[in-house]
Structure 1
Amino acid sequence: MTTNIYLVRHAHSTYTPDELNRPLSAEGIKDAAKVNEVLINENIEHVISSPYLRAIQTVEGLASALGQDIHIMDDFKERKLIEGGAENFEEAIHKVWAHPSFSWEGGESNINAQQRGVRALNNVLEQYKNKNVAIGTHGNIMVLTMNYFDKQHDFDFWKKLAMPDIYRLSFEANQFVDCKRIWKGSN
């Protein structure tokens, strides 16, 4: 039997420094409805999300359509890049990808963030064996987790992610077997 994990990068949100409560933008709300349209045909049995509002809002339509509550898992939250925000985001994010053990002050290294993401995914694989599970999450932690299973999911891959985006990771007996993009949005 196969366990399918649908990693859902949240839809567009307008930047605010409040990571936890940053909502989707009007565009993001429209795209979240499209996420629901894509995932409703995937026989999803459980919906999980990062505690961040934008991730929850991206999958809440699916949970509602399925008559389910969203299970919040803290370890699917976005990686913390640097305390207080980066002066030059592009430079800061490039450095942590180029040097996986490096972390900015108050931030997470790629290695630590990846370990957190993989630990969370392994918990889902144990708890929801042979099920189809959608997880609302964030671009960096999502790609770092995917990178653990397939190294082609790297910094350049992350830069090309859409917002939202959906990838299905398939596992047989907790062993990774396949990754496929299923988002069919315009971006």
Structure 2
Amino acid sequence: MQTNLYFVRHAHSTYTPDELGRPLSERGFSDAKTVTDLLKREAIDFVYSSPYKRAIQTVEGIAAYINKEINELDGFKERILAEEPVEDFEVAITKVWQDDDFSWEGGESNRVAQQRGVNATFNVLERHLGKNIVIGTHGNIMVLIMNYFDNQYGFDFWKELEMPDIYKLSFNEKKCIDIQRIWGGNYGNSSLS
């Protein structure tokens, strides 16, 4: 019985230092409508999201369309890069992707963040076998989850992601058998069977 998880990287947001409450920008809201329209074709059964406002706002349209509450799951929140804002984001993010066990002070290593995201993914799979589930999330944690199932999804892939972006991961039980991009284009499509 196939289960499909639609990982939705949030749409463009208006930058504020408040990670939890940062809202979508005007462009982000417009793109979120497109996300809803694309997902309407996919017979969605449930919607999950990171507790971050920008992730919730990106998937709230499809939740409203199927008349279901959004289930917030901490496992899908963005990876914590460091406790304090980093001086040079490019240097900081490159370093954690070069060494899976390295973390900046107060931050999560790739391995720790990936395990958190994969545990949340398995939790959703166990609850909703054979269903189609949308997951509102963030770029880094989404790619770390995808990387667990197929290591072609790494740092270079993350740098090419759009805001928003949608990837459908199809599972047979807990085995990922296919990954497809839904948002458009063909970058990163793979078949794992």
TM range (shorter): over 0.9
Alignment of 1:87-106 (within 5 A): 87-106=87-106
- For 1:80, give the aligned amino acid: I
Q: CA deviation at 1:184?
A: 2.9
Match of 1:70 in 2: 70
CA-to-aligned-CA distance 1:137-184 (integer Å, 9 cap, x gap): 000000000000000000000000000000000001221100000003
The CA distance in 2 between the partners of 1:124 and 1:165, in whole Å, is 20
Match of 1:176 in 2: 176
Match of 2:114 in 1: 114
Matched, 1:138 2:138: yes
CA-to-aligned-CA distance 1:6-60 (integer Å, 9 cap, x gap): 0000000021110000000000000000000000100100000000000000000
CA-to-aligned-CA distance 1:68-98 (integer Å, 9 cap, x gap): 1101101100000011211100000000000
Q: CA deviation at 1:100?
A: 0.8
Match of 2:12 in 1: 12
Runs of 4+ in 1 over 2 A off after TM superposition: none
Contact 1:38 1:184 in 2 (8 A): no
Which stretch has the larger CA shift, 18-27 or 171-180?
A: 171-180
Q: Tell me the number of residue pairs that the alignment of Structure 1 and Structure 2 aligns.
A: 185
Contact 1:5 1:132 in 2 (8 A): yes
Identity %: 62
CA RMSD of aligned residues (A): 0.8
Structure 1: unaligned runs, 5 residues or longer: none
- For 1:23, give the aligned amino acid: P
Alignment partner of 1:58: what SS?
Answer: helix
Contact 1:13 1:23 in 2 (8 A): yes
